[in-house]
Amino acid sequence: MLKINNLTKKFNERTIIDNLSFEVENSEILTIVGPSGAGKTTLLRCISGLESFDSGEFYLDGKKFNPYEDTGSESVIGVVFQDYQLFPNLTVLDNVTLAPQMVLKQSATEAKQSALKRLSRLQLDGKENLYPYQLSGGQKQRVAIARALAMQPKILCYDEPTSALDPELRGEVSRIIKGLKQDGMTQIVVTHDMDFANDVADKQLHVVPVK
Amino acid sequence: MKQLRTGVEPRLLVLLNYLLIQEDFFIIGGMNMLSLHYISQILPSLLVGTTMTLKIFCWTLIGALPLGMIFGLGLVSNIKLVKYFLNFYVWLMRGTPLLLQLIFVFYGLPIVGIVFQRYDAALFAFILNYSAYFAEIFRGGLQSVDRGQYEAAKVLRLSYWQTIRKIVIPQVAKIVLPSIGNEVINLVKDSSLVYVIGIGDLLRAGNVASARDVTLIPLLLVGVIYLLLTAVCTYVLRRVEKHYAYWR
Ligand SMILES: Nc1ncnc2c1ncn2[C@@H]1O[C@H](COP(=O)(O)OP(=O)(O)OP(=O)(O)O)[C@@H](O)[C@H]1O
Ligand SMILES: [Mg+2]
């Protein structure tokens, strides 16, 4: 379970997130919706440790942690970026296996085996030796998901997972997210897309810009 | 011949002599026995000059590429003092002629008691000059790597150096290669500037032979050798670029 207490985030004295508290149960899907500029991306960046915050507490399964400062390989929070940010110089397989090998110290064969299994479940069979530029948007996104999952995160975050995709692919994304829920993954999804949000959400968080 | 000489102006004689050597060279495209013999006579000295040119070329690259990379990292760092200093250095090195820098190091610095050997002076000036150009190229390359790439690496818990090594350097290398290639080709030709501080490079060897024998052949040969050197560089650079062409 992820629990956030009284999170406040300012950019140069301008408060973006004001005293926000919420929690996500294990294997729950939380969607965060709200108008543009409400601070959804900023919240996700705080949770995943990419942005410092001014005050607040984070608990993962009852244990306090600081996502910005704790950079060990435990309490990992996976991120699927809006623009995926795959590594263009690495193959699909290397994108997925790089961090498990370098950070989790998995052997090459071990990392490769679980990567291939994951890629296959995400309908990416046969794509492992391609480079990101050779993939469609939806395929890139699934590689990004596989890459994040390979680090065995406790929580997986998505920023606007449907924004860069054709509308027909929306159903595909919600199917993947629900499938991961079946596997027990806790997920936080930021989105503009209300239909999509209502489709996948177990719980919804509405945020509005701070006045 | 003797009779002729009395009446003819000496300068004309030089010209005649010149034509005697040149005539066949131009008519049969330089492949007759006479000029072949002449070429084989001067080639050793030209090759000695080429060796010097290549030495300056290689040592400048060996010194300036890593220095330029480090300076490039400094130029994009957050340390203000380092950035100001490096910007000044780049401005100085790119804003003044390399020829001036060479003369300054070899003829100027001894006035204030800093004496370099010719060869050391040349390497010193060339490495400092080319590092500045490379630094600017690497700065541009480093800045064109998306910040999102560092963030993706960070959430995957890769360390700074793992990120630099596995993600940043391959991408920067691909981006900077064409510009680095340009500078490498320039360096082949710029190395001839060491002429001015009296180093026996390829250009000097050709010029000496040409002045001594009053013929164009050495200078033409020098041109051919420079063309060969730049052709080899171009080929090698293409190969390296091809090596990086497997991704976009
Ligand atoms: N690095 C930054 N420095 C200063 N202000 C920032 C920074 N990043 C975001 N902001 C501001 O914080 C506010 C929230 O931005 P954020 O990107 O989190 O919004 P969002 O809810 O994700 O919007 P959207 O739905 O358009 O993606 C905006 O007003 C933005 O200008
Ligand atoms: Mg956003």
Alpha helices in B28-79 (DSSP H): 33-75
Q: Extract the tokens encoding A202.
A: 């177990």
Separation of A43 CA from ligand 2 center, angstroms?
Answer: 9
pLDDT in tens, A75-115: 679 999 999 999 999 999 999 999 999 999 999 999 999 99
Are A83 and B246 a contacting pair at CB < 8 A? no
The pLDDT value given to residue B14: 52
Are A85 and B167 a contacting pair at CB < 8 A? no
Is B134 within 8 Å of B72 (Cβ atoms)? yes
Among A10, A31, A40, A51, which is best to mutate for testing ligand 1, by the most ligand atoms less than 8 A from CB? A40
The pLDDT value given to residue B18: 56
How crowded is residue B58: how many other Cβ atoms within 10 Å of its Cβ?
11
Separation of A41 CA from ligand 1 center, angstroms?
Answer: 7
Is A192 within 8 Å of A33 (Cβ atoms)? yes
The label of the residue with tokens 């498990």 reads A100
Confidence of residue B11 (pLDDT cuts 50, 70, 90): low
CA angle B224, B225, B228 (to 5 degrees): 90
Percentage, residues of chain A above pLDDT 70: 99
Q: Extract the tokens encoding B170.
A: 């391959």
Three-state secondary-structure class, residue A6: strand
Question: Can you name the residues that pair with B161 across neighbouring β-strands?
Answer: none
The larger pLDDT score, comparing residue A73 to residue A93, is at A93
Query: What is the spatial order of strands in the sheet that A203-206 belongs to?
Result: A77-80, A155-159, A186-190, A29-33, A203-206
ipTM above 0.90, yes or no: yes
pTM of the model: 0.83
Domains observed in chain B: 48-246 (1.10.3720.10)
pLDDT in tens, B141-160: 999 999 999 999 999 999 98
Q: Which of B232, B183, B192 is nearest to B61 (CA)?
A: B183
| Surrounding residues of ion ligand 2, Cβ less than 5 A | A 41
Chain A residue with Cα closest to B172: A89
Could you tell me the residue ranges of all domains in chain A?
1-76+155-211, 87-152
Three-class HEC string of A78-113: EEECCCCCCCCCCCHHHHHHHHHHHCCCCCHHHHHH
Three-state secondary-structure class, residue A63: strand
Please give the CATH topology (third level) of the domain spanning A1-76+155-211: Rossmann fold (3.40.50)
How crowded is residue B19: how many other Cβ atoms within 10 Å of its Cβ?
12
Alpha carbon A145 to its chain centroid, in Å, reads: 8
Is B110 within 8 Å of B120 (Cβ atoms)? no
Average of pLDDT values for B70-94?
95
Question: Can you name the residues that pair with A187 across neighbouring β-strands?
Answer: A29, A156
Confidence of residue B3 (pLDDT cuts 50, 70, 90): very low
Q: What is the DSSP string of B131-184?
A: HHHHHHHHHHHHHTS-HHHHHHHHHTT--HHHHIIIIIHHHHHHHHHHHHHHHH
Q: Is A40 in the pocket of ligand 1 (CB under 6 A)?
A: yes
Alpha carbon A15 to its chain centroid, in Å, reads: 24
Chain B residue with Cα closest to A155: B155
Compute the nearest-CA separation of B166 from chain A (Å).
9
Are A151 and B156 a contacting pair at CB < 8 A? yes
**pLDDT over 60 at B117, yes or no:** yes
Determine contact: A147 vs chain B, CB below 8 A. yes
Note which residues in 85-144 of chain A have CB less than 8 A from chain B.
85-90, 98-99, 102-103, 131-133
Determine contact: A39 vs chain B, CB below 8 A. no
Are B152 and A81 a contacting pair at CB < 8 A? yes
Chain A residue with Cα closest to B171: A89
Of the listed ligands, the closest to the CA of A42 is 1
Is B225 within 8 Å of B46 (Cβ atoms)? yes
Q: Extract the tokens encoding B85.
A: 């200093």
User: Mutation test of the interface with chain A: which of B144, B150, B156, choosing the one with the most A Cβ atoms within 10 A?
Assistant: B156
Average of pLDDT values for A48-77?
89
The pLDDT value given to residue B85: 97
Burial (0-12, 13-18, 19+ Cβ within 10 Å), A188: buried
